[in-house]
Structure 1
Amino acid sequence: MTGQSDRWTELTGGQAGEEYAQRFARLAESGHDIHGEAAFCDALLKPAARVLDAGCGTGRIAIRLAEMGHHCTGVDVDSSMLAVARREAPTLEWLLGDLTRLDALGLSTGFDMVLAAGNVVPLLAPGTEAAVVRQLAAALGPGGLLVTGMGLDAAHLPLPEPPVTLTDFDHWCTQAGLTLRQRYATWNGDPYHEGCGYAVSVHSRPAM
């Protein structure tokens, strides 16, 4: 990230792509459903929607959404993760870039959904979170949705304590012109309640 490393790079050294992909491959082989995020997002989208997967990692979710008929672009700061994504889905658009400077990547705006799953927000560089939320909101078209998933305690984060609270996050979203539409405790749609260790949030940009 601009000026300092993001928390993800500090944790992994930017070399976790293959290991990350293998972990999900093992989960799939053992019978786990690894496409819960994509199914959740698809239920919110019109057919053939435009989706920006911000912090796309190895592309697992974007690739699945593309298979479901959506037009997906993935952005990540970790080149090792993008190497896996490009290998698995070479025809999709994968961009190496800093989420604080999405506007510098030449992306068209007007996305129907911007997705930031997998603890993207808590793993940003400290102090950049509000700027990233502004960038993600700016990529949305009228009525577009920002969908995020984040851990709220150490059990749901690769960190000793959560660096971001939902109050902080909702405030940044409000500042960026977004409104909270729905919140869940899981990607399966389980109801959210105070004290949940994880939150899936759906914020919307006003329709014109």
Structure 2
Amino acid sequence: MSRWEELTGGTSGEDYAARFAALAGSGRDMHGEARLCATLVPAGARVLDAGCGTGRVMIRLTELGYDCVGVDLDASMLAVARKQAPHLPWIQADLATFDPAGLHGGADFDLVVAAGNIFPLLATGTEAAVVSRLARSLRPGGLMVAGFGLDEAHLPVSPTLTLPEYDDHCAAAGLIFVDRFATWDAHPYEGGGYAVSVHRAHRG
């Protein structure tokens, strides 16, 4: 069982969506992730939203002209995503066993985005397998961007994954470090409890 399932029981989709809707209603900018993705790959690029949740990031990327597929294990989150954008491809799957080659268009994504603390909320011990699966979904030269908390102030659970461990998993999966930011608005990372990391697949 993932740490997310332990935390929520897999029934938090509507509550999660309501919380973000309230933030948006208060004037909070909710599209930093999509904006950063748009600086990494051009419109029209193929994007895999890994741990897409209720679809906030993927729906925005689609509006910006990207060809997106969303994958998440939580049926309650996907139910919200499908209600909001029934025309988009939402797939229920465990990222640790997900086979991107089985998707329409195959494993040939220009970008994988993992927002929303995906990696710290995986089942403990599956992090390397998930990085490997996501790396295999990239075309040669494709990018993976992942943002997650590193301490209890930035996570709903106790931290289990460090940046060096994440980088090691990426290297083992054939990914090359490109850049790291402190926020999805691309502020420089100078230490701290949250990081957004960009890695690139070998160009082949």
TM-score by length of 2: 0.97
1:17 and 2:18 are equivalent in the alignment = no
1:35 and 2:5 are equivalent in the alignment = no
Q: 1:116 aligns with which of 114, 117, 121?
A: 114
Match of 2:78 in 1: 82
Q: Distance in 1 between matches of 2:200 and 2:38?
A: 16
**Gap runs ≥5 in structure 1:** none
Match of 1:165 in 2: 162
Q: 1:176 aligns with which of 173, 176, 179?
A: 173
Match of 2:91 in 1: 95
Q: CA deviation at 1:115?
A: 0.8
Q: RMSD over aligned Cα, in angstroms?
A: 1.0
Name the stretch that deviates more: 57-66 or 41-50.
41-50
Q: Distance in 1 between matches of 2:29 and 2:89?
A: 25
Q: Structure 1: which 4+ aligned runs deviate by more than 4 Å?
A: none
- Equivalent pairs counted in the alignment come to 202
Question: Counterpart of 2:39 in structure 1: which amino acid?
Answer: A
Q: Is the 8 A contact 1:52 1:114 kept in 2?
A: yes
Q: 2:43 aligns with which of 30, 35, 47?
A: 47
Q: Distance in 1 between matches of 2:140 and 2:68?
A: 18
Q: Distance in 1 between matches of 2:194 and 2:109?
A: 25
**Gap runs ≥5 in structure 2:** none
Q: Distance in 1 between matches of 2:27 and 2:15?
A: 19
Q: CA deviation at 1:47?
A: 2.0
Match of 1:148 in 2: 146
Q: Is the 8 A contact 1:17 1:80 kept in 2?
A: yes
Q: Is the 8 A contact 1:97 1:105 kept in 2?
A: no
Work out the percentage of aligned pairs sharing the same amino acid. 58
Q: Distance in 1 between matches of 2:126 and 2:18?
A: 30
TM-score by length of 1: 0.95
